[in-house]
Amino acid sequence: MKLNSRIIEKKIGSKVYVGIVIDYAEGVKRKQAWRNSGLTLAEYHRGGKRRVEDMQKAFIDEFSAELSKRRGLNVDYANLTVMQLLQKYVDHRRTEKKLTDLVYYIYTTSHPDKMREFLRMRGREDMKLTDFTEFDAEAFVDYLRKLKTREGKPFTDCTIKKILCFYKPAFKYAKRKKFVAHNAFENIDSPKVNQRRAEFFSKDEMRQLWEALENEGACLPIQFAMWTGMRRSEIVGLKWSAINFDNRTIRVREKVLPIAGEGLKAYTELKSDSSERTIPLSMQSQHILFRQIELTAENNKAIFYNHNYSDYVFVDKMGKMIKPDRLSNTVTRLCRRLGIKGHLHKFRHSFASHLLKQGANMKTIQELLGHVDCTVTMKYYLSVDDEDKQTAVASLDGHFDFASPPSRLRICN
């Protein structure tokens, strides 16, 4: 419900007064509401301008509440701004849905900040929720398409879809609570994202990367990713207390993420309940941990070594926590140098795919990756190549005993 107001001059009797007019829609009809400021035109020009402007704002607020009442909306929230709605929605989700600390952080900073900047650019930082229309929602989506990531790349359709997954329910909540009569995002379509099957490193590519990593400072945590399939945030957040060398297991229960303005922050709430899991230690992953113990023992002899993070497994040579981006950037750089297409997270895909090749069942792989169910594992992480297909079909030759292979193939035209 967008209200346009203006200050006008109106002659009453022999004097000219200054008044305020609000233009609004009532169904398909355009109407006006009028209020006399009580000031003559001469008084307005002699210092009454600020007073009339204050009266104009008050009139808009009062009339907005009156219209909300007429239309069956919640009068107490007639002057609710767009940004206030977003905070109110987050508080509601926090109470009803029990958001994790990380999701709560994203919902109160990253997502709302985009709307705040969008409104600021249009000079409407305090825009009322009732003034926000479908045209504004469309303009907001166009604005998102022009944004760039920290690497300077445009937002992908997947990123925009995730952002809209916050705004669409927020405005739906506003309509349900009768803060507004219409949901501005109701007819806004989210981008269609084609879910591609995840790619994985071949055995030879894994060998090349393993050897190349031996000359890198962030060698051990990345090699550990190869052998455990853990996410980078889980590796950076891994503590010695989560490792049981007697049982040869890792308990994944914490992660570390970079938060704008706060640096690295540890979270005990993972992506989902199934993300908290136990991963067996292979001989190679144990060897990596023993190498890290030796490396840390050597590094902490330094005078300025930081002992504040001694409970974390993977720290840099000065004892500080490793930034997740450092691991990603190292792998990206090595892949580019070796002519291999890939990134850090591809080790996670490879871990799953090579386990499948070795005969591991789907349920086992799902639990090792920490997926909610096998559907995600099958859909995005497990891939097969031409060799797998040929091996599978060729296996039928020796399976059925009622047919023997022909001595010579005859091609039929």
Per-residue pLDDT tens, the chain, 413 aa: give them: 566 788 888 888 888 898 888 887 665 577 888 888 888 888 888 888 899 899 988 888 888 777 766 666 666 777 889 999 999 998 888 887 666 666 777 777 778 889 999 999 999 889 988 889 899 999 999 999 999 887 788 888 888 998 999 999 999 999 988 888 889 999 998 888 766 667 889 999 999 999 999 988 889 999 999 999 999 989 999 999 999 999 999 999 888 877 666 677 776 666 666 678 899 999 999 999 999 999 999 998 888 888 888 999 999 999 998 988 899 999 999 999 999 999 999 999 899 888 888 888 888 888 888 887 777 677 665 555 666 666 666 666 665 555 555 555 555 54
Query: Do 153 and 264 reside in the same domain of the chain?
Result: no
Identify whether 405 is part of a domain. Answer: no
* β-bridge mates for residue 264, sequence order: 258
Angstrom CA distances, 306 to 261, 266, 301, 319, 321, stand at 21, 17, 10, 5, 10
Count how many domains the chain has: 3
In terms of Cα–Cα distance, which of 193, 190, 85 is closest to 140?
190
Query: Do 153 and 249 reside in the same domain of the chain?
Result: no
Q: Which pLDDT score is estimated for 335? A: 95
In angstroms, the CA 367 to CA 295 distance is 31
Cβ atoms of 20 and 55 within 8 Å: the answer is yes
Return the exposure string of 250-259: e unless at least 16 CB atoms fall within 10 Å of the residue's CB, then b.
Answer: bbbbbbbbee
Cβ atoms of 107 and 99 within 8 Å: the answer is yes
Q: Which pLDDT score is estimated for 195? A: 65
Identify whether 108 is part of a domain. Answer: yes
Query: Do 170 and 266 reside in the same domain of the chain?
Result: no
Q: Residue 30 is part of which domain span?
A: 4-71
Query: Do 226 and 160 reside in the same domain of the chain?
Result: no
Cβ atoms of 160 and 142 within 8 Å: the answer is no
Query: Do 271 and 381 reside in the same domain of the chain?
Result: yes
Helices then strands, each counted (H, E), the chain: 16, 8
In terms of Cα–Cα distance, which of 261, 258, 259, 240 is closest to 250?
240
Conformational region of residue 339, where left means phi above 0, alpha means psi within -120 to 50, and beta covers everything else = left
Q: Which pLDDT score is estimated for 14? A: 87
Picking from 51, 71, 91, the residue at the C-terminal end of a domain is: 71
Query: Do 104 and 223 reside in the same domain of the chain?
Result: no
Identify whether 187 is part of a domain. Answer: no
Conformational region of residue 325, where left means phi above 0, alpha means psi within -120 to 50, and beta covers everything else = alpha
Picking from 48, 71, 94, the residue at the C-terminal end of a domain is: 71
**H or E, element range at 38:** strand 29-40
Cβ atoms of 280 and 249 within 8 Å: the answer is yes
Would the pTM of this model clear 0.75, i.e. be above it?
no
